[in-house]
Amino acid sequence: MGRSSVFTFQYIAIDTEAGVTPEEFETFVRGEGVHLPLYPGWRWTLLRGLRGERTGQYLMLFEIESAEQRDRYVTARGEQTEPARQFWARHPEAEAVLARWRQLGTYAELPTLFTDYRLLADNPRSTVTPGPRYRDRPGEESVARVVGIHNLALRAGVTEEVFDRFIAENHHRIDDYPDWRFHVLKGERGNRLDQYVMMMEIASLDALDVFYPEPDIATGEAAVFAAAHRDTKQMYEEWKQLASFSGSPQIYTDYLAVAENPA
């Protein structure tokens, strides 16, 4: 995925009233759900909330290679296009799996709440390399990345144009913690349209705990890193003059990846 990527968040719920457990749902998704056909240029990761607003709840993170690939299959209202209907008609074998998924909980389709974001900036120097957010295969190293979704808000009198320009001109000054990678996203459509989000992709739960083992409580390692990267710290202070930053008091959820469609 590149700078033209689009990210879609789909809010998922399991049917706990019918006795569905998180273990049952995740086992199904990893065993059967991941084999559902996927539109070209799309990938998804199922995330479970670790801490924050949606602890214990699920989100499907779709990463799509371009807005054109998104729009080919989904309208601005979140409805299937004609090419999407044709795609599913070519895959009748998916119906049984989709039916089972819908018995266990909601799927990434209306009336599920969703938001589409476009990528404003990220850090190509990060040590988090492209690859799976979740992997658990025999003979391969296991992967379960953390994805932090932190909502941002502009200060009074600050326009989107001013903030967008600041990010475009200054994001290169950011050095991430080791095994962390930031993405600044801007909401552009959906029925839970959060304007800006800082999405942190972290290589593992251990890599999160090195710097933030508890919500909003930084470790000594975080202070040492900030002291060694003063321009990054200064850039964040300039950012805070225009908008809120990640973490409290803004709404956020840190999620753990629990399933992903295979590449």
One-character DSSP codes across 211-250: H-SBTTB--HHHHHHHHH-HHHHHHHHHHHTTB--SSTTS
Q: Which residue from 29, 33, 37, 61 is spatially nearest to 47, judged by alpha carbons? A: 61
| Residues pairing with 201 in the sheet | 147, 181
Residue 91 scores a pLDDT above 80? yes
pLDDT confidence tier of residue 139, bands split at 50, 70 and 90 = confident
Residue 262 scores a pLDDT above 60? yes
The whole model's pTM is what?
A: 0.93
Residue 214 scores a pLDDT above 90? no
CA atoms 130, 135, 140, 141: torsion sign: positive
The CATH-assigned architecture of domain 1-262 is 2-Layer Sandwich (3.30)
pLDDT at 216: 80
